[in-house]
Amino acid sequence: MAYWHRGDQKMIPKYTIAFIVVISAIVLFSILGNNPPDGNYLTGYQTVPSIVEIVTVQSYECNFTLSEGWNLVSFFCLGMLNNRGRVMQSINGNYSMIFRYDAFDSDDPWKSYNPNLPSWTIQQVPYMDRLSGYYIYMIENSSFYYNGTKKYTYIPLKSGWNLIGYPRVINSSINDAFSNISYNKIKTLDEATGDYIFYTVNGSSNTLTIARPYEAYWINSTASQTWIITAE
């Protein structure tokens, strides 16, 4: 019988090692190859669930005009982490400030970017997404374009005021657009007048009645909840 040698010591027989390897492979294959159809995998004495989420993604482009002065906007064609420089490339040089509001950062909710500040300054908007609303100050009228995607969206809301995007491509009444969440008031900026327009639950003189693509909204949520957007 052949042995492995190390000095004068006899080691494990080669054939014994080969037999162990074969048996181990058979046992491993039997474990992995006979898992239940729900995707649970047996590891020792524990069952580990495996979940795959299927998300519908469509190619979509944003194409609209930002007016000179303050604009309160959102971008339904963005993903979750889009490089700001790439997103804003079509209007580069035509804007001077970007602001967004993070309700979940109670210590420093306002985030900003100023392209005119020196490179050593800390800029707080390195990425942009479809969940957020943005204040953008335009130096002049400019056409925005970005070739991206559109997908179902989940926007977490904190109790109180939140600044959120409107990731839909169609107009909708305020009641229909926000029907699956609880809130007291919604407002947005009327770019024509520079004033805010409001929708108040059970209000008698609401000036905001329609939610539109590319607009962003302040929403006063009555609780911590999630706005689920599955429609166009």
pLDDT score recorded for residue 39: 38
User: Do 198 and 119 belong to one domain?
Assistant: yes
Q: What is the residue range of 69's domain?
A: 57-229
pLDDT of residue 2: 47
Say yes or no: 37 and 129 in one domain: no
**158/100 same-domain check:** yes
Tell me the whole-structure pTM to 2 decimals.
0.75
Shared-domain flag, residues 155 and 68 = yes
Are 32 and 123 in a shared domain? no
Residue 95 and residue 74 in one domain: yes
One domain for residues 25 and 88: no
> Based on the domain organization, do 31 and 71 belong to the same domain?
no
- Residue 38: predicted pLDDT: 38
Q: Are 171 and 107 contained in the same domain?
A: yes
Same domain, 35 and 69: no
Same domain, yes or no: 184 and 131? yes
Q: Please give the C-alpha separations between residue 61 and each of 23, 71, 72, 149, in angstroms, as whole numbers.
A: 56, 19, 19, 7
Q: What is the 3-state secondary structure (H, E, C) of 126-183?
A: CEECCCECEEEEECCCEEEEEEEEEECEEEEECCEEEEEECCCCCCEEHHHHCCCCCE
Same domain, 43 and 66: no
160-179: burial string, b at 16+ Cβ within 10 Å, e else: ebbbbbbbbeeebebeebbe
* 148/167 Cα distance (integer angstroms): 13
Residue 55's pLDDT is what? Answer: 52
The pLDDT profile of the chain, 232 residues, written as one tens digit per residue, is 544 444 444 444 544 444 444 444 444 434 344 443 333 333 344 444 444 444 556 788 999 999 999 999 999 999 999 999 999 999 999 999 999 999 999 999 999 999 999 989 999 999 999 999 999 999 999 999 999 988 888 999 999 999 999 999 999 999 999 999 999 999 999 988 889 999 999 998 999 999 999 999 999 999 999 999 886 7
Total tally of structural domains belonging to the chain: 2
